[in-house]
Amino acid sequence: MHHIFIFFHVLSALLLGSFIVFPFIIMRFNDLSLLEQRKVSNTLLFFVKVGEISLIVLLFTGTAMLSEFGKMSASLWVTTSSILLFIIGALLGMMHSKLKALNSLNLDKFQIYKYYKRLRIYSWITMLSVVLAILVMTNPEIL
């Protein structure tokens, strides 16, 4: 069963890897027209939804693999990766609401800029958390 769990675990980690390019896409948001901004935010919203599903799969398969090991390990890497997973989940939730708002039709320029600034910050923190989670998961001995 382990090989199935690790397959879906790593597949979900790969899907989460899309958030590494998020800040670079959002950085170019201001150069786009209103229509293009709406199209891009729609695509980003799709990726956020995929990311939310990936997090659930990561948590499920991670816990399943840990229980497979016999005893529930309470090591630092498990705690760190679980905390990172919840941080990423919270950030995805916040990005979800901002992208949804950006997709609505009745927003003025000031509101768009406000949401865009928040999105930029959230996307950078998400990127760093994903990189950190992959680093901890692939090198648990560093903790």
- What are the CA-CA distances from residue 69 to residues 21, 73, 83 (Å)? 34, 8, 21
The pair of structure tokens assigned to 23 is: 């800040």
* Shortest reach from residue 111's CB to ligand HEM, in Å: 31
Q: Choose the stretch contacting ligand HEM; rule: CB under 6 A; options: 21-29, 62-70, 106-114, 117-125.
A: 62-70
Q: Choose the stretch contacting ligand HEM; rule: CB under 6 A; options: 24-32, 43-51, 75-83, 115-123.
A: 75-83
* Shortest reach from residue 72's CB to ligand HEM, in Å: 9
Q: Contact, 62 vs 77, CB < 8 A? A: no
Question: Rounded distance, CA 45 to CA 98, Å?
Answer: 9
Question: Rounded distance, CA 107 to CA 100, Å?
Answer: 12
Q: Does 48 bind ligand HEM (CB under 6 A)?
A: no
User: Where does this chain bind ligand HEM (CB under 6 A)?
Assistant: 6, 9-10, 13, 16, 58-59, 62-63, 65-66, 78, 81-82, 84-85, 88, 133-134, 137-138
